[in-house]
Amino acid sequence: MGSALLALALGLQALAPVPKFDSGRAWEHLRQLVAIGPRPSGSPAIEQTRKYIKDQLALSGLTTVEQSWDDQTPLDKVHMVNLAVTIPGARKERIVIAGHYDTKLYRQFRFVGASDGGSSAAFLIEIARVLKSRKNPMTIELLFLDGEEARMPEWGGNDNTYGSRHYVEMAKRDGSLASLKAMLLVDMIGDRDLDIRRDTNSTPWLSNVIWEAARRQNLDDYFIADSTRIEDDHLPFLAAGIPSVDIIDLDYEAWHTAKDTLDAVSARSLQVVGDVVLASLPHIEAHLSKTLVLTGRRIVKRQSFRVLKAKSTLPRRKTLRHSMITTLSDGGH
Ligand SMILES: [Zn+2]
């Protein structure tokens, strides 16, 4: 059953030519974002960043929906905005591909977040273009999250992941969480010395599918076998019961320093992640459609049982570089 569905999903993919992730385009987005300068939540620069993202998505024929609110941080009250783009698929059940676009607030130096905040946003703009022209069996939502970074110097308590927490809370309230079947998070994927470890907080089957896709493409030098534990925007989704995976390279020398600039990142790294995510997608869809088909069957059985019961007059019956990585991830990012 599983392999038949997978073959079907892969067969459908083979029929429809899927455009490739173009790291040249992603690089240009990254360059433009970095050129805006530091882009902390609530700043005029992040407003400019949103305009850039929305304009680029519009060029791909996509409409951006804003989710805005004011959040109280330990430092101040901050206006935050998540950006969401929906690409309808054959089913209404959806996969969210997310990343943050804010950069950490630093007053003592100029922090432009080429990998941390820039790479994820640039990646999402480009993958949106690719997925727009793909025949998607499930709906895909691209989600640009605000407020991932802690407002205070140290990562702690609720002073981080403002955007993802708000999104999940709202999705619970309006009932849209029910159609969310998986979440893929990208963060800090620009490192020119790319090494992405498995995150032990992530849902194992999703990690397996992604690392397996990397291995098939001979990209296992980048998606390595080590593991680490990461606190990031996937945690609120996991807490709400959504299978989620964080694709992140936190082993980054320039992390949260003035050196997180274009010199520390590469288009090649964006290409690697783009290729791996696109290669994993049919397998993720196959895994999810198996669950959806089974759920559908159970409903059909129950309905026919009711019909039988209604007709019957019978009485009712019951029926790592571990130490370094550990230190980094303990501090969040
Ligand atoms: Zn960060």
Q: What is the pLDDT of residues 72-82, one digit of tens each?
A: 999 999 999 99
pLDDT at 296: 54
Residue 290's pLDDT band (boundaries 50, 70, 90)? confident
pLDDT at 54: 98
Q: How many whole angstroms from 49 Cα to the centroid of ligand 1?
A: 17
Q: How many whole angstroms from 104 Cα to the centroid of ligand 1?
A: 6
Is residue 37 within 8 A of residue 110, CB to CB? The reply is yes
CA-CA-CA-CA dihedral for 53, 54, 57, 62, to nearest 10: 150
pLDDT at 291: 81
What phi and psi values does residue 6 have, to the nearest 5 degrees? -65, -45
Tokens of 235: 């945690």
Q: How many whole angstroms from 36 Cα to the centroid of ligand 1?
A: 17
pLDDT in tens, 3-58: 555 555 555 555 556 689 999 999 999 999 999 999 999 999 999 999 999 999 99
| Residue 255 C-alpha from the chain's centroid | 20
The residue with greater pLDDT, 298 or 227, is 227
Q: How many whole angstroms from 71 Cα to the centroid of ligand 1?
A: 19
Which residues keep their CB under 5 angstroms from ion ligand 1?
104, 116, 333
178: helix, coil or strand?
helix
pLDDT at 292: 76
- Name every residue whose Cβ is closer than 8 Å to that of residue 205 and which is 6 or more positions away in sequence: 243, 287
d(Cα 147, Cα 155) in Å, to the nearest integer?
Answer: 12
Question: Beta 77-87 vs 64-72: how paired, if at all?
Answer: antiparallel
Residue 1's pLDDT band (boundaries 50, 70, 90)? very low
Residue 186 belongs to some domain of the structure: yes
Nearest to 194 by CA among 172, 216, 220: 220
CATH number at residue 87: 3.40.630.10
Q: How many whole angstroms from 116 Cα to the centroid of ligand 1?
A: 5
pLDDT at 314: 36
pLDDT in tens, 63-113: 999 999 999 999 999 999 999 999 999 999 999 999 999 999 999 999 999
- Name every residue whose Cβ is closer than 8 Å to that of residue 110 and which is 6 or more positions away in sequence: 37, 38, 258
pLDDT at 11: 55
Q: Does the pLDDT of residue 306 top 80, yes or no?
A: no
Residue 321's pLDDT band (boundaries 50, 70, 90)? very low
pLDDT at 209: 98
Residue 211 belongs to some domain of the structure: yes
Q: How many whole angstroms from 37 Cα to the centroid of ligand 1?
A: 15
Residue 13 belongs to some domain of the structure: no
Q: Does the pLDDT of residue 217 top 60, yes or no?
A: yes
Q: What average pLDDT score do residues 213-232 get?
A: 97
3-state secondary structure 39-89: CCCCCHHHHHHHHHHHHHHHHCCCCEEEEEEEEECCCCEEEEEEEEEEECC
Element (H, E) at 117: none
The residue with greater pLDDT, 304 or 83, is 83
In this predicted structure, which of 54-58, 229-233, 264-268, 292-296 has the lowest mean pLDDT?
Answer: 292-296
Q: What average pLDDT score do residues 238-254 get?
A: 97
d(Cα 175, Cα 166) in Å, to the nearest integer?
Answer: 14
Q: How many whole angstroms from 290 Cα to the centroid of ligand 1?
A: 36
Q: How many whole angstroms from 119 Cα to the centroid of ligand 1?
A: 11
Q: How many whole angstroms from 149 Cα to the centroid of ligand 1?
A: 6
263: helix, coil or strand?
helix
Residue 198 belongs to some domain of the structure: yes
Q: How many whole angstroms from 157 Cα to the centroid of ligand 1?
A: 15
pLDDT at 304: 39
pLDDT at 125: 98
- Look up the domain containing 122 and give its range: 2-6+20-295+320-330
* 169: number of Cβ within 10 Å: 14
d(Cα 180, Cα 247) in Å, to the nearest integer?
Answer: 19
Nearest to 96 by CA among 135, 122, 128, 55: 128
Q: How many whole angstroms from 232 Cα to the centroid of ligand 1?
A: 10
Residue type, 8: L
Q: What average pLDDT score do residues 127-145 get?
A: 97
Q: How many whole angstroms from 144 Cα to the centroid of ligand 1?
A: 15
Q: How many whole angstroms from 24 Cα to the centroid of ligand 1?
A: 24
Q: How many whole angstroms from 63 Cα to the centroid of ligand 1?
A: 28
Q: Does the pLDDT of residue 236 top 90, yes or no?
A: yes
DSSP 123-171: HHHHHHHHHHTS--SEEEEEEEES--S-SSSS--TTSS-HHHHHHHHHH
Q: How many whole angstroms from 180 Cα to the centroid of ligand 1?
A: 26
The residue with greater pLDDT, 324 or 2, is 2
Residue 201 belongs to some domain of the structure: yes
Q: Does the pLDDT of residue 318 top 50, yes or no?
A: no
pLDDT at 307: 36
Task: Calculate ∠ Cα 215-126-247, nearest 5°.
Answer: 40
Q: How many whole angstroms from 275 Cα to the centroid of ligand 1?
A: 24
The residue with greater pLDDT, 185 or 304, is 185
Q: How many whole angstroms from 4 Cα to the centroid of ligand 1?
A: 42
Q: How many whole angstroms from 213 Cα to the centroid of ligand 1?
A: 27
In total, how many domains does the chain have?
Answer: 1
* 307: number of Cβ within 10 Å: 9
In this predicted structure, which of 12-26, 82-96, 204-218, 290-304 has the lowest mean pLDDT?
Answer: 290-304
Residue 307 belongs to some domain of the structure: no
Residue whose tokens read 């049982």: 305
The pTM of this model reads 0.85
CA-CA-CA-CA dihedral for 110, 114, 116, 122, to nearest 10: 140
Residue 313 belongs to some domain of the structure: no
Q: How many whole angstroms from 160 Cα to the centroid of ligand 1?
A: 10
Considering the chain, what is the average pLDDT of its residues? 88
Q: How many whole angstroms from 156 Cα to the centroid of ligand 1?
A: 13
Q: How many whole angstroms from 256 Cα to the centroid of ligand 1?
A: 6
d(Cα 330, Cα 326) in Å, to the nearest integer?
Answer: 6
Question: Beta 138-145 vs 180-187: how paired, if at all?
Answer: unpaired
Sign of dihedral through CA atoms 129, 17, 185, 115? negative
Q: How many whole angstroms from 314 Cα to the centroid of ligand 1?
A: 65
Q: How many whole angstroms from 286 Cα to the centroid of ligand 1?
A: 33
Residue 262 belongs to some domain of the structure: yes
pLDDT at 40: 98
